[in-house]
Every structure is written in structure tokens, then in C-alpha cells.
Structure 1
Amino acid sequence: MRVSSATMISLNRLRLIVLGLALCGTAACDAQMPLPPLQSGSGGYTGEVPQFDVISVKPHKPGEDRMMMHWGQSDYKAVNMTLKNMISNVYDVKSWLVFGLPGWAESAHWDIDAKVSAPDVKVMSSLTNEQRRTMIGGILKERFGLVVHTESKVQPVFLLTVMPDGPKFKESPAPLPHAEGEKPKPHGMWRMGPGSLSATDMPMPQLAGNLSYFVERTIVDKTGLTGNYDVELKWTPESRANAGTDNGTGDAPPAIFEALKEQLGLKLTADKAPVPTVVVDKILQPEAN
């Protein structure tokens, strides 16, 4: 999907918190990048998940490429989102692992505005990512009649391994101590965009998952590296590499496969493996309201 040229997200014990992230770009980037993670609260709520009382669904007007997701205290907004993007986010799979959508659902973009009337703010602020996904899944079921099932399918994958000379990056230093009673500061950061990825305090499965968006294929971590690492990677996106021009610079970085070898000492090898997928059994085109 489309994102700004650099999306930076704080990793605090691997809990990714985004309160309102605007996404923009060109159609060439569509489906290549992840939706921002849902805002996660304290995770202390164990009761019944709230339901949206008011839901507005409208086709997105052509000509506006900006994409946005925003989760407030009592509302959820999505602008210019495809159903494939939303389903992949709700069921926590990559968008290319969603199968069975009809043509209109593949191409149509939607604006969604959903609200909880008289919300319990304490409850809303403590919902987990999974609970928020459940609420958004309720929108898809109510307004689009969505019915799905999950199944494991053998799919093309890439195996991420270490080159014979070893990795060309270092393990992240331990976080600095904090004073008693002081809240620990976020230790890790990652930033990625078309042709670049940089991160601190990143485990290898997380790196594999992030890289998968750029090759549109699941990447399985087989490095055997168990720590958290600082990495920096630059490459020429395939669309730019196929353009047949370097815009006069003459020093463009290599494609992602070679960049991984040269800059990180890592290798991608094509293979096949069973991966979780979502299969759409039923979906209806709603009337705008």
C-alpha cells in the first residue's frame, strides 16, 4: 500500500502504537507497504468488546490519493482504504495472502467513519490490538456481509539466511537504565520507505516481516540470530530499476536482493512453505450512506 517516503514507528517492547498516521504516495507503491498498526492501549480490559453504534461507509472520491487510518477515544476513521487492506489488517496477514475477493472488492476504495455512542473512556483506552481488530472486523461483517475462513496454504516464500562471512550489522546495545519510578523510554525505532529501511533494536523475525512488503512474498527467518540488531539498508526499488535510467546519478544502490548481501550479509532464497491465509467466502457491495 502507499505510505509516505519514511514511516517511523517507536518499538516499545514490540508494542507498536500509532494514533493517526497519514499515508500518501503513488499507485506504484500500492500493496507494498503495511497498514499502520492499530493503537494499542494498556491491554488490561478483559470484558466484552465494545461495538460501533454508528457506521458510515462511502466510496472514496477519485482524485484524492491520501490514505489514512485514525483511532480516537470513541471513533475509528479510514480514508481511501481497499477491502483487501482492511481484511489483511483485521486478520493480521499480508494483503497478498487474502484470497477470494471479487473484482469490485479488489479495486474499490472506501471511506469509513464509525463511532461508539456514550463510550466508557477507560475501557476504550485499554483495548488491545486484537480487540480493536475485532471491532473493525465487525464493520466489515455488518456493512459488507464479510464471511471468511483461515487456512494454511503452501505459497512461494523467501528464506532469510546469513551469508558465509557472517552478518554485517551489530547487536543493539542494552537500553540505558532509568531512575526509579521513571517510565522507560522507547528503545527501538524503525523507519522504512520505498528503497530504504533502517532500524534499531530489531529482532530478525521483525526484519523478515518488514522486508516481505517490498518483495510481496512471505520471508521466513532462518538466520538463527536471536538478538536485537541495528540495521541500515538502501536499494533501488524494482519499478525504478526497470525504468532504464539512473536520472544521471550513476550511483544508484543495487536491487534489494543484492543490497541485502552487500550491506547486511544476508541472503534471500526462493522456496515454498505453508503460510496462514484468509479466504473470503462471502462479501457484498454496500450502499453508500
Structure 2
Amino acid sequence: MTIARVHTGRMVASIALFAVVGAVSPIFTSAQSPSPAVTPASQSTTAQRSAAKSTALPSTPTFAVASIRPNNSDHTARTHIYSYADHGHFVAINATPMQLLQYAYVLPDSRILGAPAWAKSSKYDIEGKSDTGLAEQLAALPYSGAKTQLLTMVRSLLADRFRLAAHFENRDLPVYNLVITRKGPKFSPVEETSKHIDTTGRAGSVTIDITSSSHAMADLAEILYRYTGRIVVDKTGLQGNYTINLKFAPDDARLALPSTETSSAPDTGPSVFTAVKEQLGLELKSGKGSIEILVIDHIDPPTEN
């Protein structure tokens, strides 16, 4: 697994997705309008900002223009998502619809169910821009408020161009609870630096590196889902900035090893469960939990520009 870079107008953060490096070239445009079919469970002057504050935002803000084109260049390359919330500008490069869903609904892929296979593999370049009036209104908001509005706009784009229909529901699902062992964690808080997450797999071994993350346990839980087959719930209670390193052999690699004692096959390492306990001082305990998930009822390949 590679790492996606999510860029905002004020910060750059790494998230565990797939990702491309490159500039956005001019692409086709079209009008954007409908609101998302999901059931709930430029700088302005001081005068312009004041005027924007006095004007109510639309109940469902949308991009004035949105462009989408397939990216058939390199599907192993990275995805980049550029988010300029206080300008109402959104750019995604080499992104799958699943990655857009993760971004728009702020959910890990383990909590998005029902997406078809093509939505996890087809890549697109996407750009959305708001009109000048909405951009000025967004610029007048605190950045967190502008970001919330931008996420709504991306959801509208998914509903309009991908014909997305979805709903939230709670389900009782088998989970693994990530907890601390009796001896305590084998890592300590670190000084805050640039956050980085990298997961690499080679020669039957997987290495997870999480560097300087204030959400390290949540990041680890989401990555572990990919190798345990269950949603992993962080119940460590650990707060702080951590760097985590974990190396293990995924089950498919271990099962592929010859079973004879005389085999000269290399040792690929411990199972993920053993590695989490021995290397991190944490433990994956089987359980059940009520998990809020986003269920995809319908999604189509995007309409052409």
C-alpha cells in the first residue's frame, strides 16, 4: 500500500490511501448542481468579507463548475488531493471514487460498504471550483467551517456526476479491539514533526511506519484492518504524538511457505497479532461492536464532460 498526500491551503497531511505527483492540467468543465443523495445517521477585501458574513450560505453549497476525466497513466502511482477550502477549490489527481468517498465523508474504507470493484480501481483527475460569491463567503468563515462546506460540495459532486446514493446505518460487526498489554506500550511520545505514513510489502513481509502522528493509534487501527479482515477499534486511550514501526508477515505469505522442517525458505516474520504484541506492547482482542458505516446503494462511473 502506498500513501496519499492530502494538501490543504494551510497544511499538508498524509493519510493511508493510494496516490500521483503532478500538476493539474486544464480539463473539461461542466455545471454542478444536485445535492448528495445520502440519508443522515480568491482573497476578498475586508469590505467583501463583511458582506459575505451577512449573506447566508446556501443550504447545500455546490461547485459552480466541476471537471472529471479518467486517469489512465499509472495506476500504481500516488493520489494527491488538494483542498483549498477557504477558496472553494478542490483538486484530486489519480483518485478512485472510493478515495473520494473516504475524503468527503471522513471515513476509513473499512466503514464504507457496498462499493463495486471498479470504484476501488478506476482512477480520475477531478477539479471543482466555486463561484466568486461563494468563495468570498467561504473566505469569511473560520477554516474549519469552510472545510465542512467544501466536504459537502464534494458529496454533491459525487451525487451529481457519479449518481451516488448511500445511507448511514449502525451494524453489529465482528471487530478487533486494540488495547494495551499489562506491561504497557513499547513506544513513547515524540516531538511533533512532519507526519508521514508508509506501508510497504516485499518478499512476504509487511512494514508499517507511522511517523509523528497525533492520531497514531487510529492510523494504526485503520491499516491493521487490511491485514486482519475486521474493523479494528482503538481502545488504547493513548493521547499524544507517536512514531510507530511494525513488521510482520501477512497470513497469505505465511501460508505460502513450504511446511517441511528442512525448507530453506526465509523467515518472513511473526503474524500481525504476534507482532503487535511483541513489538508495540499492544494487543488485538476479538469482540463485537456497533459500528456506524456508510452503505453504498448506488454509484455509476462518472458522466463525461
TM value normalised by structure 2: 0.65
Distance in 2 between the 1:242 and 1:189 partners?
A: 37
Q: 1:102, CA displacement in angstroms?
A: 4.1
- Report percent identity of matched pairs: 24
Distance in 2 between the 1:249 and 1:193 partners?
A: 26
Contact 1:79-1:111 within 8 A present in 2 as well: yes
Distance in 2 between the 1:146 and 1:270 partners?
A: 34
Residue 221 of structure 1 pairs with residue 234 of structure 2? yes
Q: 1:116, CA displacement in angstroms?
A: 1.9
Q: 1:146, CA displacement in angstroms?
A: 1.5
Distance in 1 between the 2:116 and 2:219 partners?
A: 32
Q: Which runs of 4+ in 1 moved over 6 A?
A: 19-22
Corresponding residue number in structure 2 for 1:13: none
1:193 partner amino acid? D
Contact 1:257-1:267 within 8 A present in 2 as well: yes
Distance in 2 between the 1:139 and 1:236 partners?
A: 40
- Cα gap change, 1:243/1:20 in structure 2, threshold over 3 Å: closer, same or farther? same
CA RMSD of aligned residues (A): 3.9
TM value normalised by structure 1: 0.68
Distance in 1 between the 2:161 and 2:223 partners?
A: 33
| Count of matched residue pairs | 246
Corresponding residue number in structure 1 for 2:139: 122
Corresponding residue number in structure 2 for 1:2: 2
Q: 1:213, CA displacement in angstroms?
A: 4.9
Provide the secondary structure at the position in 2 that maps to 1:260. Answer: helix
Residue 18 of structure 1 pairs with residue 12 of structure 2? yes
Distance in 2 between the 1:129 and 1:188 partners?
A: 23
Contact 2:196-2:212 within 8 A present in 1 as well: no
Distance in 2 between the 1:250 and 1:100 partners?
A: 38
Bigger shift: residues 153-162 or 196-205 = 196-205
- Cα gap change, 1:80/1:243 in structure 2, threshold over 3 Å: closer, same or farther? farther
- Cα gap change, 1:19/1:236 in structure 2, threshold over 3 Å: closer, same or farther? closer
| Structure 1: gaps of 5 or more residues | 10-15, 26-44, 176-186
**Greater gyration radius:** 2
Corresponding residue number in structure 2 for 1:269: 285
Q: 1:101, CA displacement in angstroms?
A: 3.1
Provide the secondary structure at the position in 2 that maps to 1:165. Answer: coil
Contact 1:100-1:280 within 8 A present in 2 as well: yes
Q: Deviations over 1:161-197 (max 9, x none)?
A: 2223232223x37x7xxxxxxxxxxx36543211122
- Cα gap change, 1:210/1:95 in structure 2, threshold over 3 Å: closer, same or farther? closer
